[in-house]
Structure 1
Amino acid sequence: MENNVAGLGCAIRDHGGRLIAVVGVRQRSRLVCMTELHAAQAALNLASQLDVDFIGAILEGDSFDVCSRLNKILVGGYIEDCETSVARLLPAFPKIVVSLINRKANSVADHLAKNACLLDFEWVRGMSLTTSLAQLLAHDATFL
């Protein structure tokens, strides 16, 4: 986050860890937690627009605070506008689990967030990949 400009990145994967879609969005923000909640909102929004029948979803994040807030949202405990927006997207997914993950497992989302500080980006399976994202995926242990 620099000069109140933040990049947020989301990666949507299938049950085998293969990438379905990604989104990177540039936004103004002062709070890291709210930026990460906006990332969850962007991921849920993109996933709900995909032509995929989800039987469940796992929201993964590397921030304990954000995962705690997402779990509160799942049980109906939300108060801020962003939390309410996230809650409205949840019914599109039959089952949702929030999972705290190691930061290294979040390399694709981190890459998208860094690049989104300069330019918004969206990719859906079937489109050609940027060179930098293709190189990152080639070394991503999730895909091996």
Structure 2
Amino acid sequence: MDKIRVYLIFTLILFIFTGCLSHRPGCMNEGNKGLNLRWGTFISKSGKITGYQLNNEAELSKLIYKGSFDKLNDSILFSIDEEKYCRLLGMTRDTILSIQALNEPGDSLHFIEYSDPPRNVRMRAVWNAINKTFGSKGFREIYDSLQTLVPVVR
């Protein structure tokens, strides 16, 4: 009887201990494989786009406009750590859920694009880079956070 009780207690403790130590999957998992986060500047008169992209491997790339957003050419600059990537991705998702549409006209525009093809989700927020409107506040904060990743060229 005592052996069974000890065995049950040991098994219970083992389940509790392993359950507490199990790692929750981060945001860089197979479910987010095709996810891309893009941001940058669009000059409407010239059609010039300069920007950056974070893919689900947390790799930062510089984007080069080639006629449309679907044909952007990129070159990987470096990778960022998973914690920072997941924080930025979470901020972006939260802002998208609270501000579901943003399209402000202007000559010089900033944009953030959240693209998740496996889930058929694509959202782009575009706002006037000069004006600081209430509607663009959340996306401006994300844009500024994303811009801190961009290397300074001297």
**TM-score under structure 2 normalisation?**
0.29
Structure number having the greater strand percentage? 2
Structure showing greater radius of gyration is 2
Q: Comparing both structures, which one devotes a greater share of its residues to helix?
A: 1
Relative contact order (C-alpha < 8 Å, sep 6+): which is higher? Answer: 1
TM-score, normalized by length of structure 1? Answer: 0.30
